[in-house]
Amino acid sequence: MYLVLPAFIFHWYLSLFSQTFFLHRYSAHKMFTMSKFWEKFFYFLTYLSQGSSYLSPRAYAILHRMHHAFSDTEKDPHSPHFSSNVFTMMWKTKDIYNAVLNNRSKVEERFDHNYPFSETIEKLGDSWISRIGWGVFYSLFYIVAFVYFDMHWAFFFLLPVHFLMGPVHGAIVNWSGHKYGYQNHDNNDQSKNSLVFDLLMMGELFQNNHHKLPNNSNFASKWYEFDPTYPVIKLLTWTRIIKPNIKPADAKF
């Protein structure tokens, strides 16, 4: 227990940070800029942290821009209001993601531009050898913990979350963030703020605020709300690892 739970929490938040910081705020919205060195660093960190559930920055950015443009309509890649449950929403998202990733679907030019790209990491991250390898690694870690560190067998139920960490994060954000909570803004959609202090999803559950001001790097908009990723962005800005990209906060992409 003392080995597995910290490892699970570490994987949860490192993967979540890569998703909200690099895939979402950088790749999809370009809220800030960074040097090629740091771009490659965070690109590789995304691969390491997502492992078997690695998501392509290009495909992620395209789907997310579509999500903003078509929020909670039939064209939305992942609206809970057009799926019977969270699993059918995840499957629908997977199909659209794969079609975009493999160029089987025509993408509007406004969605397909200005994202980070590394052919090496893309090929590695999307390969079944890599995905299965990461799955074996997670499984062996739990087996070792069970055999040598007295882990309770029930912790094996955490393994599917490790396998699908990226999609699990996306499902929580899109299902909860468009069904449950409160609204600060009328965005002509069903986006909600699910938590006041979003420690669980590092600010991603401020969907209503984010849909109102898509390029505001602080997803919290009221004095009592807290986005845990924003102080990290401020720190990285202070250390000059990233530089704010000045554009209207309400610009779509």
Task: Summarize pLDDT for 225-250 with one digit per residue, the tens.
Answer: 999 999 999 999 999 999 999 877 67
- Position 62 scores a pLDDT of 97
Residues 32/237, Cβ–Cβ less than 8 Å: yes
For the chain, give every domain's residue range: 4-244
Mean pLDDT by 10 residues, the chain (253 residues): 89 98 97 97 98 98 97 96 96 96 92 93 96 98 94 95 98 98 96 98 98 96 97 98 84 72
- How does pLDDT run across 121-153, given as a tens digit for each residue? 999 999 999 999 999 999 999 999 999 998 999
How is residue 82 written in tokens?
């057009």
- The pLDDT, as a whole number, for residue 1 is 62
Contact 15, 170 (CB under 8 A): no
SS3 letters for 92-159? HHHHHHHHHHCCCCCCCCCCCCCCCCCHHHHHHHCCHHHHHHHHHHHHHHHHHHHHHCCCCHHHHHHH
Q: Give CA–CA dist 31/240, Å, rounded.
A: 14
How far apart, in whole angstroms, are the C-alpha atoms of residue 5 and residue 155? 9
Type of residue found at 86 = V
Q: Kindly state the tokens that stand for 234.
A: 């401020």
pLDDT on residue 247: 72
Look at residue 63 in the predicted model and tell me its pLDDT: 97
